[in-house]
Amino acid sequence: MTGNTAKAPLAGTPSLLRAINDRAALELLLENGPLSRTQIGTLTGLSKPTASQLLARLEAAGLVLPVGTTAGGPGPNAQLYQVNPAAGYVAGLDVTTSQVRVAVADITGSTLAEHVVPTKGWTAAETVPGVAGAVAGAVRAAGLAEGSLRGVVIGVGGAPDPVTGKLRYASHLPGWHAPRLAAGLAAAIGAPVTIENDVNLAAVAEQSSGAARGFEDFVLLWAGEGIGAAIVIAGRLHRGFTGGAGEVGYMPVPGAPVVKDVRRRNSGGFQELVGAPAVRALAKEHGLGAPTAEESVAKALVTPGAGDAFLAELAARLAVGLAVIVAVVDPRLVVVSGGVPNAGGERLRALIAEELARIAAARPEVRGSALTGSPVLLGALQRALAAAREAVFSTH
């Protein structure tokens, strides 16, 4: 063989060991904040000279910055270092039928700006330029230059097919079914784009910093305008062969008619039982009519008698679907999230848990969401940050 073909570093070579040590130090700085050379050496097991060389290397690459010194201890003050926030920027999006919400964060995970654009009246042809405009608005609000983003993750109420990339289960989102949609969005935005199911991203956020932190096996049930679930097994999202794992709104369940031709109707038994229109209808039957499902639930919480009966029936309906999921997946934990469970708070959560224990053989713990703001947006940012850090920290 001839030529100057470059070879990757072999296991145990100095260059590979330096890369491993650099990555370990960056992860420690992200997790613990500013650290001194001595602290990094202690946490990584590196000698002081090696830790000094590591920090010099990372500072020269623009990945760390000196940020003051320690004070109050014996001996001279020590220089502190942190990850350079400007090493990379990402955006996360939460796309619904009514709006696009965008957040921009730096490589440390600090959110720099959020920007919301209503989507009412958008045609299919306006989707790509509209989304690109929303991202551009968030970038400007963050005080960044055009082209600053290293990656964008978009959460939508559908499931990208892992083979074709086409978005399934999303007929309610005009313009999101175009071939090569992610590539078109990437070209318009000027950064790599990943499209992800919104409920899956909510599960990412709950596992990282919410109710499912520390859990390797759990199910997140999302109940709002639509119904969906995310399934995490051995710490990893289970997506299914076509990407549609968790599309439980299509699931036939007791108490609801079996829906025929679910693709055309974009609905199914569980959606018909506990989707927002069904929640509003149930509330109206109990004299608790309100413009939205969330307002109906909130009204029930402060209405003795009728409110109690409504919440009990709603919890029973949600538990029916959960019992089916639990029987198949047998998770350690169930997290209930979305507009309806969040509006019902601890009271609705407890009713769901009680009813599920009555009708399911397995009895997983049931928790409500522990996050504020949009879990989908938070999960999108976390996915984008993970990819950006992998690229930035591994190639300096």
Q: What is the average per-residue pLDDT within 130-138?
A: 97
What's the pLDDT at 242?
87
Whether pLDDT at 141 is above 60: yes
Q: Is residue 100's pLDDT more than 80?
A: yes
Name the band, by pLDDT with cuts 50, 70 and 90, for residue 12.
low
Report the distance separating Cα 366 and Cα 181, nearest Å: 37
Residue-level pLDDT at 396: 61
Q: Is 7's pLDDT higher than 60?
A: no
Confidence of residue 251 (pLDDT cuts 50, 70, 90): very high
* For residue 347, pLDDT beyond 70: yes
Instruction: Record the tokens describing residue 247, joined without a space.
Output: 């599309």
Label residue 264 exposed, middle or buried (CB < 10 Å: 0-12, 13-18, 19+). exposed
Rounded CA-CA distance 64/86 in Å is: 10
Does 93 have pLDDT greater than 50? yes
Say how far apart CA 359 and CA 367 lie, in whole Å: 18
Edge-to-edge order in the sheet of strand 236-237: 236-237, 227-233, 218-223, 333-337, 365-368
Does pLDDT of 313 surpass 70? Answer: yes
Mean pLDDT of 325-343: 97
Which of 6-20, 41-55, 217-231, 351-365 is predicted with the least confidence, judged by mean pLDDT? 6-20
When pLDDT is averaged across residues 332-342 and rounded to a whole number, the result is 97
Average pLDDT for 284-303: 96
Q: How far apart are the first and last CA of the chain?
A: 30
pLDDT confidence band for 158 (50 / 70 / 90): confident
pLDDT of residue 211: 97
Instruction: Give mean pLDDT, residues 322-342.
Output: 97
Give the range among 113-127, 159-173, 281-295 with minimum mean pLDDT: 159-173
Among the residue ranges 16-25, 112-121, 220-229, 322-331, the one predicted with the least confidence is 16-25
377 with 92: CB under 8 angstroms? yes
How far is 165 from 243, CA to CA, in rounded Å? 10
DSSP-based three-state secondary structure for 10: coil
pLDDT of residue 263: 66
pLDDT at 5 over 70: no
Provide the token pair at 291.
């413009």
For residue 15, is pLDDT > 90?
no
pLDDT confidence band for 178 (50 / 70 / 90): confident
Alpha helical stretches, state H, 169-292:
181-189, 198-209, 262-265, 269-274, 276-285
pLDDT given at position 166: 80
Q: What is the pLDDT of residue 75?
A: 58
For position 235, what pLDDT does the model report?
94
Residue 7 Cα to chain centre, angstroms: 37
pLDDT surpasses 70 at 266 = no
Q: Identify the weakest region by mean pLDDT among 162-176, 179-193, 240-254.
A: 162-176
Structure tokens at 179: 């071939």
Looking at residue 117, its pLDDT comes to: 96
pLDDT over 70 (residue 8): no
Nearest CA to 314 out of 257, 284, 391, 137 is that of 284
Please give the Cα distance from 336 to 358 (Å, whole number): 18
Burial class (CB in 10 A: 0-12, 13-18, 19+), 113: middle
| Cα-trace Rg, the chain | 24
CA distance 292 to 295: 5
